[in-house]
Amino acid sequence: MNEQLVRYPDIDVSVINETAGRMAGSVHASGIDNATITDKINHDLNEMVHNTIVDRLIGVMVMSAIIATGHNLVEILRGTKAFPQSVTDTVKKVGAAEAATAITAYLFS
């Protein structure tokens, strides 16, 4: 870090409080300490562990159903689609969104 500070003296550098204490004068304290960052990272990692494929599928199912229903409702109101056809289309769209999410979640998990 010292080499970078020499090479780029016009760039202000903010670091965690502990590091700023050891490099007094050359960097600025960010106001965040190492314990706070560690706690935040641990919390976020725990949240990721609990975000399962099933959680993602449920969220996508709800959102895609809302979007597809709204889209089909507009088409019904415009007279371009009949009610039974819109139900079938909504189910197909939700199924496609679920399949795409399941495959993506599986591949990236």
In the chain, domain spans: 2-44, 51-107
Q: Give the pairing type, strands 14-15 and 28-29.
A: parallel
Q: What is the pLDDT of residue 82?
A: 92
Q: How far apart are CA 5 and CA 17, in angstroms?
A: 17
Q: What is the pLDDT of residue 75?
A: 93
Q: Express as a percent the part of the chain with pLDDT over 70.
A: 100
Strand blocks (E) in 3-103: 14-15, 28-29
Q: What is the pLDDT of residue 39?
A: 94
Q: Which residues contact 16 (CB under 8 A, 6 or more apart)?
A: 29, 30, 32, 33, 34, 37
pLDDT digits (tens, 9 = 90+) for 40-68: 999 988 887 777 888 888 889 999 999 99
Q: Name which of 19-23, 45-49, 91-95 the model is least confident about.
A: 45-49
CB 58 within 8 A of CB 91: no
| Residue 105, H or E segment | helix 83-107
Average pLDDT of the chain to the nearest whole number:
88
